[in-house]
Structures are given as C-alpha cells and as structure tokens.
C-alpha cells in the first residue's frame, strides 16, 4: 500500500520571498524517509481563500494526509486553525487544559509570577492559540503554539497543523507523528531505506556518467531512487529504496567507491563537521581568516562540544591585524600582496603560535565584488595549513559565484583541507 501526502506552507512572508521557506521541503523529506509519497508542496499567503483552494486541490489529488505549516501565531493574520477547521466542517472551542499550558509557558518566558496579572494583549493571544477543532488532538507546543492532528473523516484526509518557526516545527515532529490521527494515516506506508554518500571535488557530470554505467551494471538499479545535489562544493548522493532492495544499493555503493574513492569523503553520509571532529583526535585547532571573516571559526563552533578542540581564531581582515596579531611579516604583504600563498602560510603559522593550537587553517582571498587585481580575479582564495611537526602547506583556488558564494565555498574548502591532512 502506498500512502500519499501533500504539504501546504502558509505565510505571506514566505510567499513573497522575504523569507526562504525551510519547512515545506523539510516536512516532505521526513515523510519521504518514512516511505510516504509526496507529490505536492504548495505555498500560500495569509488569505484564507487561497489556503482553502490548496486544501481542495490536495483533497482532489487523493492524498491521505495534508500537513500545513505556519499561521499559528497570535496576530490577526494567523488563520490556519480556523481555516482548516472550517474546511473540515469542525467547530472550534478553547481547550482549557491547553490554555493553562500556554499560559504557564508564557509566564515562564516572561518571568511573570503565577499570580501576576497577565497583560490584556497576552491573554488575547493565549485565547487564540488555545482553540482546538472538534475531534482534533492537540500536539504540545514547543514554542507557544500547539500543533493540531485532525483524523481522516467524511472523505477528507487526515490533517496535521504545525507551527511556522522551523525550530518549533522540527521539535514538534516526533510528537506529531505519534498523535493518533497521524499514526493512523501513516500506518500502511511502504518500508523504505534512505542512504547518503557525500563527495567533494566531484562534478555532477562525472557523477552522471558513473550513474549511467551503474544503470547497466547494478542489478535492480531501477528500484533505487537516486537524487544528487550540489551544495557548497560538496555533492550529496541520496538514495531511497524499498528495504527489500538493499543488495542493489550495496552494489551501487561499491561501484561509486571504485570510480570515485578518493572523493567520497563520507561513504555513510557523515557530515564534514563530524568527520573533522573525529579526525582531530585530541589535537587542538585554530583559524586565521581574512576573506571568510570568521565563517570558518563560526562553522567549527556550530557543533556542540567544539570547545574540546577549537581554541580560537583571529579574523585578520586588515593587514595591520595580519602583521600585528598574527606576526605576518609586513614585507611579505608589501611584496606579494595579502592574497598570496606565503601570507596565508604565515597566517596559519601565526594562529598556531598565538593560540598554542596543534593545527591551524588560514584563508586570504578576494571575495568580491571589488578587489580583483591582474592575475588574481574575484574568487581567488589562498589557504594555509599548519600542522604541528609538519611543514606548513599552502594552496590557491579560484571559486565561482558572488561574494556570499565565494566565502561559503572557501569555508568548506578550508575544512576539507584540514580533514584531508589529518586523515
């Protein structure tokens, strides 16, 4: 049996492009991992009629579950619960237990005592967020807004109403799946497996050629649903298959390793950040950044527990900081320019010396849009890598794209440089 679902993302700020939607794809992706077939994600603004039109569309498409995101806030333009309830012909009423929960949450957030009077605006907001459609199961709030799970009935599919802030939505997901109306709607799904491989330094064209070969060489290749995706210079190869077709995936993976072994840095989908933390293996690291301006350090510190290996970094944007803090010889900068391998190498050495780290990586480049000089176009980035007990290495790359892309690609490259050296 195949279970089908559709996702509706609500919010004028998403529809108008002022906010990039991070919910539609996330929800669709999680459903697909569960073996649910998702054919449509739709986005509408805050007009109830547009939401109703999209609900009607998905119902006509015959889906078993509709997930909505957003429109659960306290303001007048947040209308999802009322609109979906109306569409389902379910009256709404304030749920006193839910109201008490939300009041408690808001008192804690605002540090109000239990007996302090609530401001009127807050009381109104709580009342609005405590409303539940008849027959629906509320899902406990992870911010202030609860989710709602509405059972399939009267020819309508099950509906799951989730909040808009991605963190709240993602935190609520496990409880939402466990809510009885949703568990019932998903009960008959196929069992599928997902697997990822990450590669660096591989073009999509090279990969496409290997996959064409795999089509002939791998038994039951057609049961593998493969999607490839280029992100920040890495290629992610995602495969979804009926769990019964695991042997075909094993064959594909072996074929990819034979063809691109060196580039497949994460054959089981591990992230660069995880692998780097493991490869450091007790050593400490520091950064010296010019064009990436702190992005390498910020990425390293994204990971909880990074304080056990990241000592710190120097953002040496101005040359005076390169010389004054990192000890890069001024003559080197005068002679070769700040964007040069010797300067990047001296920056890495300086970061080790100044912080006492075992490993340091440095970036110095031209992120653009200005700053290009003859022989050094926008996108040119020099890297330095210092590892205690080894000679300092340097390398230059020219990255495509605009300022943001050059900085992002340079950040990823810097981390791959470290991973490669430590493995």
Answer yes or no whether residue 83 interacts with a copy of itself by CB under 8 A. no
* Of the candidate residues 354, 359, 385, 417, the single one contacting a copy of itself (CB under 8 A): 354
Read off the tokens for 381: 């980035």
* Of the candidate residues 15, 82, 259, 332, the single one contacting a copy of itself (CB under 8 A): 15
Q: Among residues 156 and 306, whose Cβ is nearest to a copy of itself?
A: 306
Q: Among residues 13 and 270, whose Cβ is nearest to a copy of itself?
A: 13
Residue given tokens 């780097």 in the structure block: 276
Q: Rounded to the nearest whole angstrom, what is the least distance from the CB of residue 419 to a copy of itself in the complex?
A: 19
Is the Cβ–Cβ distance between 351 and 360 less than 8 Å? yes
Decide: helix, strand or coil at residue 364: strand
List helix spans (H) across 222-365: 246-260, 272-280, 295-302, 319-324, 330-336, 341-355
Q: Among residues 48 and 151, whose Cβ is nearest to a copy of itself?
A: 48
Subset of residues 22 to 81 that bind a copy of itself, contact rule: CB under 8 A: 22, 24-30, 32, 38-47, 50, 53-54, 57, 61, 73-77
Subset of residues 178 to 217 that bind a copy of itself, contact rule: CB under 8 A: 204-209, 211-212
- Residues with Cβ within 8 Å of 233's Cβ and at least 6 positions away in sequence, in order, are 200, 201, 399, 409, 412, 413
Q: How far apart are alpha carbons 184 and 20 in whole angstroms?
A: 32
Answer yes or no whether residue 104 interacts with a copy of itself by CB under 8 A. no
Read off the tokens for 44: 């509408």
Q: Rounded to the nearest whole angstrom, what is the least distance from the CB of residue 405 to a copy of itself in the complex?
A: 6
* Of the candidate residues 19, 94, 244, 373, the single one contacting a copy of itself (CB under 8 A): 19
* Of the candidate residues 122, 255, 395, 421, the single one contacting a copy of itself (CB under 8 A): 122
Q: Which stretch binds a copy of itself (CB under 8 A): 82-90, 148-156, 303-311, 379-387?
A: 303-311
* Of the candidate residues 91, 96, 114, 227, the single one contacting a copy of itself (CB under 8 A): 227
Q: Which helix (H) or strand (E) holds 383?
A: strand 380-387
Q: Rounded to the nearest whole angstrom, what is the least distance from the CB of residue 309 to a copy of itself in the complex?
A: 10
Subset of residues 128 to 157 that bind a copy of itself, contact rule: CB under 8 A: none
DSSP 8-state class, residue 136: P
Q: Left (φ > 0), alpha (ψ -120 to 50) or beta: where does 371 sit?
A: left
Answer yes or no whether residue 401 interacts with a copy of itself by CB under 8 A. yes
CA distances from 127 to 87, 104, 197, 277 (A): 21, 13, 47, 47
Q: Rounded to the nearest whole angstrom, what is the least distance from the CB of residue 423 to a copy of itself in the complex?
A: 24
Which phi and psi (to 5°) does residue 311 adopt?
-85, -40
Q: Among residues 38 and 136, whose Cβ is nearest to a copy of itself?
A: 38
Decide: helix, strand or coil at residue 168: helix
Answer yes or no whether residue 269 interacts with a copy of itself by CB under 8 A. no
């Amino acid at each position: 049996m195949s279970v089908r679902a559709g996702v509706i993302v609500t919010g004028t700020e998403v529809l108008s492009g002022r906010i990039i939607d991070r919910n539609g794809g996330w929800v669709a992706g999680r459903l697909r991992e569960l073996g649910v077939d998702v054919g449509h994600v739709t986005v509408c603004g805050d007009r109830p009629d547009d939401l109703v039109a999209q609900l009607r569309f998905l119902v006509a498409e015959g889906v078993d579950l509709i997930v909505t995101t957003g429109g659960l806030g306290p303001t007048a333009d947040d209308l999802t619960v009322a609109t979906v309830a109306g569409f389902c012909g379910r009256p709404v009423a304030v749920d006193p237990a839910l109201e008490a929960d939300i009041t408690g949450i808001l008192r804690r957030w605002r540090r109000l005592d239990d007996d302090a009077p609530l401001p009127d605006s807050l009381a109104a907001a709580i009342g609005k967020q405590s409303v539940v459609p008849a027959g629906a199961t509320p899902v406990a709030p992870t911010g202030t807004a609860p989710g709602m799970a509405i059972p399939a009935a009267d020819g309508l599919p099950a509906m799951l109403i989730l909040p808009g802030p991605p963190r709240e939505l993602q935190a609520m997901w496990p409880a939402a799946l466990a809510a009885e109306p949703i568990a019932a709607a998903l009960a008959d799904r196929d069992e599928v497996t997902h697997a990822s491989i990450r590669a660096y330094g591989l073009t999509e064209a090279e990969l496409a050629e290997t996959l064409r070969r795999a089509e002939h060489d791998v038994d039951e290749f057609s049961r593998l649903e493969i999607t490839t995706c280029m992100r920040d210079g890495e290629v992610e190869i995602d495969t979804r298959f009926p769990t019964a077709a695991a042997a075909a995936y094993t064959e594909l993976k072996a074929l990819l390793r034979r063809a691109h072994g060196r580039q497949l840095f994460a054959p089981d989908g591990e992230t660069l950040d995880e692998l780097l933390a493991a490869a450091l293996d007790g050593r400490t690291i520091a950064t010296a950044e010019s064009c990436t301006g702190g992005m390498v350090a910020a990425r390293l510190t994204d990971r909880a527990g990074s304080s056990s290996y990241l000592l710190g970094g120097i953002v040496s944007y101005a040359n005076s900081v390169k010389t004054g803090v990192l000890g890069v010889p001024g003559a080197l900068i005068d002679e070769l320019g700040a964007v040069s391998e010797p300067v990047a190498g001296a920056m890495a050495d300086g970061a080790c010396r100044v912080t006492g780290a075992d490993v340091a990586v440095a970036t110095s480049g031209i992120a653009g849009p200005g700053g290009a000089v003859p022989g050094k176009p926008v996108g040119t980035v020099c890297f330095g890598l210092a590892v205690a007990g080894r000679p300092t290495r340097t390398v230059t790359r020219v990255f495509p794209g605009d300022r943001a892309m050059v900085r992002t690609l340079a950040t990823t490259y810097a981390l791959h440089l470290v991973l490669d050296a430590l493995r």
